[in-house]
Structure 1
Amino acid sequence: MDITERIADLAAPGVEATGLVIDGVEVHKAGKRSRVVVTVDLPETEVGSADLDAIAEASRAVGKVLDDADLMPGEYLLEVSTPGTSRALTERRHFMRARTRLVVIDLVSGDKARGRLTDVTDDAVLLDGEAGEVTVPFGNIARGQIELELKRIEED
């Protein structure tokens, strides 16, 4: 088990206690110290954004685990954040978290599909676009991207 997996395994209970889940862990050497980047998010069943207080609590929990387990030799810089809207949607769980958002999907055929992500099934995503509701099977998706909106659907 590599260091990123060990960090994720040890930190998961503390992060989950804050209502978040670990989305990814990266460790980079930065001179004499290491930079540990832990990405947290709401569980895939949730819609919305992670609360800043929960992110701060998760950061403290991860820091305590790293210090107690003495996993990082020497000094390290810990960054705990969310994936943000710029993350590529490449896995089912990414699309689950993007429900209600406006997305653009690059299809393996080279075409694009655009619309509001209304649902995610085991094998497809459902978009509500200009042409109505469209089902896009995961096998046809190269990647997706959330389109940044200045006015969210909840404000309509």
Structure 2
Amino acid sequence: MMACVIGLTVSIPGTSLADSPRHNYCALNVETDAMSCFSTESELESMMSTSVLRVRLGTWFDRTNMDRRGGYLVFFASRGCSDTNNDVDHADSSLRGSDWNNRVSSLITASGCDFKLYDGIGFTGHRTSWIDSSTNLGDYDMNNRASSYKIS
């Protein structure tokens, strides 16, 4: 197993998401639920390259085929996932209020992690099996439908 280590901080002084256009390039610290979002990919990459080290768990893409041009959300933690899907390493019961609710179309994981997506808040409704990689979540009947998730 190979872990990708990248830096991450989560505060954006002077930035208000409500006052800005849609921020397509985001990083989420799953341990603190702090999300930093930027208007451009280069802003996100710059922040990640100068920040505290974190372990990358996976990336969600707005478009199919892991196309970065529509925006993406990178998940980070202080460590990778366990070797089994019998436990949950991280979870979020509601993406409501986030720019990423009902938005993900493809994903890839890292650091031994897998995602399970749910179309309802509170891990309810239609759900996927554990996913390591998908170029089109429509194959799981989950394109632009995820409202909660688990990482294992």
Give the TM-score, by structure 2 length: 0.31
Structure with greater proportional helix content: 1
Structure having greater relative contact order (Cα 8 Å, sep ≥ 6): 2
Q: Which of structures 1 and 2 has the bigger CA Rg?
A: 1
